[in-house]
Structure 1
Amino acid sequence: MDEQPIHLTSNPAEMAKLDSTDQARLILARLMEGGQEDDETCQAFDRLTKLLNDDAATANKDSSICNVIDDVCVDTIMSYLDMRQADMVRGHAVLTASAYLKAAGDGGSSALRNFFFDRIKRGTYDDYIVAFCVAAAIFPVAPDMTAKMFLSEGFLPSLDSLMRRKWKSRKVETACLEMLNAASMNSQCREAIQKYCSDWLEEVVDQDPEELSKAIHSADPDLHATQGSIAMRRHSEAVQHLAAVILAKLRAVPSTPQTKEGTDNRIQAANTSIEDLTRKFTTMLLTDPDNGKRHSVEGLAYATIQPAIKEEVAHSKQLLKTLVKVLGDAPAKSPLTYGALSIFMNLTRYQPAQTDEEKKMSQLKAYANAAGKLAPTNPLNDNEHVSQRCKLVFDAGIVPVLVTHSRHGSVASLSIIISIIFALSVTTSLRGQLAQQGAVNLMVAAWTALPDTEMQAKRSAAQALARILISTNPALVFGGTRARPQNTAIRPLTSILPPDPAADTRDLLPTFEALMALTNLASTDDDTRTTIIRTSWPEIEEQLLSSNHLVSKAAVELICNLVQCVEGIALYAADTPQAANRLHILLALADAEDEGTRSAAGGGLASLTAYEAVVKGIVKRKRGVEVVLGMCSEETEDLRHRGVVVVFNMVSCEGEAGKMARKEMRENDGVEVLKECARKSRRAEVVEVTIQALKVLLEEET
């Protein structure tokens, strides 16, 4: 930092009088001076972070405050990332370091690299601790930059001799493993760790402190050594746990093996399997949940990527209950919360649905990657096994905990919560209980809270909501004084009526499920029907002509419910070209090939023909009366019932529309059609309506 006299001050008013460069000098001088309370140090970092962020946003780099941040200043900032600092201080220092690297660009990258390797070259335990802590803290915020530093030639091999020293430093081991743990998120770093560090990681994990203690005692009964002490020259339990987490990441997401001849292939067969590590994490969590939960949860979050481990964890009731409790007690937006949520997401995740073409392409890729050997799909990932795991997770009491965490969680954790509920909602038998435990309100709130940049999570929330509402009574879900009004579910459901524009293939399942859910809501009251029409009508109408008959049928069924309200009737009874066209489409669907579609369209016409304008529209439409009479000739009695109700409404209509309808019915052999319908029908209500319609036609004839 430039040698200029600086008068230290903490007065905000005086600080405001200084330009940004002088403010930065002053803050850095205070940080170098040290001796402040933790909250004062955090405030200093916050001010410096703001200055750096403002600096990064400006185009003029000549006056950048990074110009006054020399190697000594960088050393000062980075030293506050030391694990021996208070967690609060480290958290604020990470934000400042991140802001500096962003503002300084290539200069910041060079400064970080110089700081790191300068500390490593010094070779003292204290310098190792600081260097490793800095790498661990910076890795998540600048992964590419830190990975290049981490993969520098000779660095990883040098850790072998350090970690195998006769006299060990617990803090050096911990700091080194924290760095490896952070680095193992990167695929290239993970491969390098597998190559150079897996042997001594195995040794750390496999160490048995009890056996060593007995051996020392038998050799020298007067020596009393504790686990992890320097006297034992062995690793602490915390170090073992952290090493196990790193191995779990290597086992769960294996690196690409090096098989070329002539290469220095140091990758050996794993001594500690992913199953062994899972049992270790499980034991840690069940026997010492307070001290072991951080590492055990992180380890299980990676181990449960493997299908066999998913089954093992899901079928351990005690472990699931403990994980639910850990999640319930975990602070919002904490790594522990994210790790526990990741475990449940892994347990409940279904494999993505594939078209026949996609399955063929996957098989070809697997064949090519396996050098001629087709990789079989793991049966533990099939829908049956996933469904069973979902039931076990649900029975462990996960949903109320997810509801609580969703209120204060980050966007990332909320997305995971949605994916868990989304998976649970696939099982029909769970949907009613999901609604009872607050999943409907959770999905509505999550859809509303998530930004549009998280569109995939929003669509998943809406689809989970649709599934639950298909299988539950809206009056029970939304009843009560404290319940969320059911109209709040309409916008999320509407959002998934159009296919996902970002998807490579067109998936109509969300559309179908949304239509079914809206149909269920539309069965309740006129207020809900009106809201659906005002919010969703263009999207609903578009699905009427879907090439998929299930989607088309679902859209007609929804319309059948919507035309029970005044606003729905107006869509078809108004004297406009749009209304006439809608009626034309409904008549065409009443003559569709699919029986369910014909039935739904007939139900809509049965309601609409109570109005003169609709009767007139059918009579004027070519083949309109013919389609209606065709319904009366259907083999299914339900369809014939709809048809004769439509006929009765039309011939009973007063005024000019009624006269036209009766005339058209007679000219299209309506009397004979109705007589045949009466002979074929067995249900009293069908026969009764048919006879009434016949009576009206025959009376006018005479």
Structure 2
Amino acid sequence: MAATDADTTLNAILQKSQASPDYSLLPEEIACLTSVFLSSRPDAATIRHKGYVVLSSICQGIREHQGKGKEPEVATKSIVGIFGPAVVKYLQETNEGSLMTGITFLTALFQVDAQAASAIFSEDGSVENMMDAVDLSPSNLLCQEVAHLLGQACGHKPCRAIITPQVHRWLEFKSRQSTDTVLQSAASVALIKLAKGSATDNPEVGQPEEESIPAGELTNKLVDIIVSEKSDSYADAVEGLAYLSTESLVKEKLAKNSTFMKKLYALVPTQKASSGQNTNPTLIFGVILIICNLTSFRPRLTEEQKQMEKLKQMAKAGKEAAKDAEKMPSFDDDEHVKARIRLLVTSGVLPVFPAAIAATDSASVRANAGKCLLSIIEEKENRGKVLQAGGARVLQSVIKEAMSTPAKNKDKQPNLTANDLEAIQALAKLAITSSPVQVFGPNVGTLYDAIRPFSTLLQHSSSTSLQQFEAIMALTNLASHSPDVATRIAKADGLLNKIELLLLDDHNLIRRASVELVCNLIAGSDEAFERYSGDTPNSANKIHMLLALSDEDDMPTRLAASGALATVTIVPTACAALIALQFEKHRFLTLMTQLIDPSVLKKDDADGDEELLETNPGLVHRGVVCVYNVFKSIADDEVRKKIIKEATESHLLQALAQLIKGQGVVKDQAIVQQAAEALKLLIGSKN
């Protein structure tokens, strides 16, 4: 069929299939669509892309229409019913043209709808006839296409089950020949997928008896293809290495080969070059995936998870085998991963990420770029380099796309996966250790845009404790930028409610970070200030919580909580809440004494066994401010008398007196003067 005729037919099929998912293709339309994936066509570069679009539209339409309320097999049978007879007929022919048509179409179908393609591939006699053909008339092009089809098929369990020893031997032989690098790399990819897949199909029996070519040999072949710049084989070589680089020994080998890594980076076109050349999204994804494999840390397991993993290994291989496995060198521990990351940074990996997301709009490329950057900035030494290479802009772009996914929940939160959170976590790490201007630039709008994803990271159901902690720390840093930013943070949907829950978290660092964020928001946001100082029972409860946190063992937590108290006691309503708490629980003034000078409490301790918390100049200052503000707010004489009595009993008078005499831990005259004024309020009341 002429190029223009094929284009016209494909346009017509696309229009009809989009209008009606039930549209039945005519025999001539099926013949046209199955033939457009032939690489020998003069219009292959343009017509093949349109063929993928049309094929995808048909399959997606059938699955959306017939899959509703039914088993997926129903839609699979429909797709197989449309294309299966024609493809099987092609594969059973003896002439190369027909075989090539069936093989190339089935290869394309695997990439569009693997379930339907697997069903057609598994038809009786199809694989055998195809292999007989390459044995009888093994043209280079036919062998290449067969290897590509087998590479697709070996990625799926139903197809691996019918791969015969004949197919396996043929792939091994073709992977070892060196005259046709396209065939060599395609056959190597098929072998890698077959070996990896077979091991996971039956994990209890380990590797199959008939082993393939060793991973080291395959790695060397694929690395040589990329280093030698044999461009026709890049895609297959990269795909094969993406599979192989899940093995720790391969990771070490690749990372230490700087020549290879630089050649690999060069496969991703720069932003300038991308506008003038066709890009291969699959190739770019493969490059990013290899980098991701090399830089990924092992999941942090709890002690319980570690024990469960050990038990699994023992059950699988026996105690002795488990002991032997423990003795084997591991190249996936944190130190080896950090060393690989340093090698990659030195060899120039950082510019690859902005180039990759500029060259393709693939969601998988964006997600893996975010994952890579998260691993790279694990070490603080790399964060400045990441910022200089535009890493923050990359993460912002990745996050913006992820956050644009439609909300499918009542809370109107974006439909993010656990993988999407990694880019947000990476940006949070940068925002913790660098100034907002360094990370987000001079445009304050970019800083505003970061509030929502950080809030989402904090509140997402899949967030780990570490992600929550880093989200809080990033928001705390942003809140200190300006009152406007603090106000926007305080108004973020559900954020303050979540933070207040985390004030009671079991983890010390999360409690500390939550208190510090609350302190910054109270200082910078009128809304947060009102929430903690208003004349309501809810506000009083929040003040009580801050007071309790001022009695924590953790010094930074005490500083933040008492700092928040010092801020809210500017208004009489907050002071009234603290006075009411003193009369009810008799704790406020004792805690203020402990902040200002715990030694006076120690002297009064009859047993002398109770361990008192230490103080420091910051705590003293906060205690003095709180006491001054509270006593200054008292207008009722009866309240004054009662407070004076309890202040004496709690040794607050003594603590203030010692501070004024120069016997406290603070010598700053401004603080001493305010302490004197607070004491004067009490003494004046006595007179």
Report the TM range for the smaller structure's normalisation.
Answer: 0.7 to 0.9
Q: State the 1:585 CA deviation.
A: 1.1
* Pair 1:684 & 2:649 matched: no
Residue type matched to 2:223 in 1? T
Unpaired segments of 5 or more residues in structure 2? Answer: 67-74, 406-413, 599-612
Residue type matched to 1:428 in 2? K
1:14 paired residue number: none
Q: Which of 207, 214, 231 in structure 1 is aligned with 2:177?
A: 207
Contact map agreement 1:665 1:671 (CA 8 A) in 2: yes
* Pair 1:645 & 2:625 matched: yes
2:451 paired residue number: 490
CA change 1:684–1:154 in 2 (3 A) is same
* Pair 1:573 & 2:517 matched: no
Matches within 5 A, 1:285-684: 285-288=226-229, 290-329=231-270, 334-370=281-317, 373-374=321-322, 376=326, 379-407=330-358, 408-450=360-402, 451=405, 452-480=414-442, 485-498=446-459, 500-501=460-461, 503=462, 507-535=464-492, 536-565=495-524, 566-621=526-581, 622=584, 623-632=587-596, 633=598, 634-637=613-616, 638-653=618-633, 655=635, 659=640, 664-675=646-657, 681-684=664-667
Of 452-461 and 275-284, deviating more is: 452-461
Q: Percent identical across equivalent pairs?
A: 25
Distance in structure 2 (CA, Å) of the matches to 1:125 and 1:206: 24
Q: State the 1:115 CA deviation.
A: 1.6
1:243 paired residue number: 187
Distance in structure 2 (CA, Å) of the matches to 1:92 and 1:417: 28
CA change 1:289–1:522 in 2 (3 A) is farther
1:233 paired residue number: none
Distance in structure 2 (CA, Å) of the matches to 1:610 and 1:538: 24
Residue type matched to 1:130 in 2? T
1:269 paired residue number: 211
CA change 1:529–1:332 in 2 (3 A) is farther
2:72 paired residue number: none
Residue type matched to 1:461 in 2? A
3-state SS of paired residue (1:455): coil
3-state SS of paired residue (2:20): helix
Residue type matched to 1:399 in 2? L
Distance in structure 1 (CA, Å) of the matches to 2:416 and 2:315: 34
3-state SS of paired residue (1:563): helix
Q: State the 1:555 CA deviation.
A: 0.7
Distance in structure 2 (CA, Å) of the matches to 1:47 and 1:643: 79
Q: State the 1:636 CA deviation.
A: 2.9
Distance in structure 2 (CA, Å) of the matches to 1:53 and 1:371: 57
- Cα deviation digits, residues 649-672 of structure 1 (max 9, x gap): 434557559957666534533112
Residue type matched to 2:31 in 1? D
- Cα deviation digits, residues 436-481 of structure 1 (max 9, x gap): 3333333233223221444323322221121111111123323435
Contact map agreement 1:399 1:437 (CA 8 A) in 2: yes
- Cα deviation digits, residues 297-322 of structure 1 (max 9, x gap): 22221121111111111122222222
* Pair 1:137 & 2:81 matched: no
- Cα deviation digits, residues 192-221 of structure 1 (max 9, x gap): 447442222221222255xxxxxxxxxxxx
Of 621-630 and 690-699, deviating more is: 690-699
- Cα deviation digits, residues 169-203 of structure 1 (max 9, x gap): 11211111111121122134345447442222221
Q: State the 1:244 CA deviation.
A: 2.2
3-state SS of paired residue (1:370): helix
CA change 1:107–1:541 in 2 (3 A) is closer
Distance in structure 1 (CA, Å) of the matches to 2:3 and 2:357: 37
When normalised by structure 1's length, the TM-score is 0.81
Matches within 5 A, 1:223-262: 236-255=180-199
3-state SS of paired residue (1:255): helix
Unpaired segments of 5 or more residues in structure 1? Answer: 1-33, 57-63, 210-235
3-state SS of paired residue (1:497): helix
1:48 paired residue number: 13
1:224 paired residue number: none
Q: State the 1:45 CA deviation.
A: 1.3
CA change 1:546–1:266 in 2 (3 A) is closer
* Pair 1:182 & 2:133 matched: no
Q: State the 1:689 CA deviation.
A: 5.2
Distance in structure 2 (CA, Å) of the matches to 1:298 and 1:194: 23
Contact map agreement 2:99 2:130 (CA 8 A) in 1: no
Residue type matched to 2:423 in 1? A
Contact map agreement 1:615 1:650 (CA 8 A) in 2: yes
Matches within 5 A, 1:52-201: 52-56=17-21, 64-66=22-24, 69-70=26-27, 72-85=28-41, 86-101=44-59, 103=62, 105=75, 106-165=77-136, 167-190=137-160, 192-193=162-163, 195-201=165-171
Aligned residue pairs total: 622
Distance in structure 1 (CA, Å) of the matches to 2:334 and 2:656: 50
CA change 1:680–1:266 in 2 (3 A) is closer
Distance in structure 1 (CA, Å) of the matches to 2:335 and 2:225: 30
3-state SS of paired residue (2:2): coil
Residue type matched to 2:247 in 1? Q
Residue type matched to 1:442 in 2? V
Of 549-558 and 196-205, deviating more is: 196-205
Distance in structure 1 (CA, Å) of the matches to 2:279 and 2:300: 33
Of 385-394 and 305-314, deviating more is: 385-394
Distance in structure 2 (CA, Å) of the matches to 1:401 and 1:249: 26
Contact map agreement 1:462 1:493 (CA 8 A) in 2: yes
Residue type matched to 1:515 in 2? I
Contact map agreement 2:103 2:149 (CA 8 A) in 1: yes
